[in-house]
Amino acid sequence: MAFVFTGALVALAVVSQEDGKIHIERVAMPEQLQRCSTDTDCILVDQISCCACQAAGAQGAINSTQQDGLRRFLKRACRNRGVCVSVDTCQGDLAAACVEGRCIVRADHG
């Protein structure tokens, strides 16, 4: 079973408005970060949103050549982020795979 942290995945950025309320803005991940041809194109990363999986965030899969692109994207998307908490949600049984031209996360069965 593949986890769909991929195309539907969005980074969440907390944006405070002048009305004093907190609003959530969804920012789509650039498609090129996840493009692939084979499983070996993809790597598992510990941070696919504003918080790393060690801080209640999520793991994800990207093209191995796009680590800098992901870092730049998260820097822009998360500039007004909320607080990350010290809760480790990292899973050791995940692997990156290329499915239909997109890097995804799936359960690693060995």
Over residues 14-41, the pLDDT tens digits come to 455 566 666 666 778 899 999 999 999 9
pLDDT number for residue 6: 40
Q: For residue 85, count other CB atoms closer than 10 A to its CB.
A: 10
d(CA 48, CA 9): 8
Q: Read off the pTM.
A: 0.76
Higher pLDDT: 10 or 68? It is 68
Express each pLDDT in 62-105 by its tens digit.
Answer: 999 999 999 999 999 888 767 899 999 999 999 999 999 999 99
Each domain of the chain, given as residue ranges in start order, spans 2-107
Q: Give CA–CA dist 60/93, Å, rounded.
A: 13
Place of tokens 């800098």: 68
Nearest to 28 by CA among 50, 56, 48, 8: 8
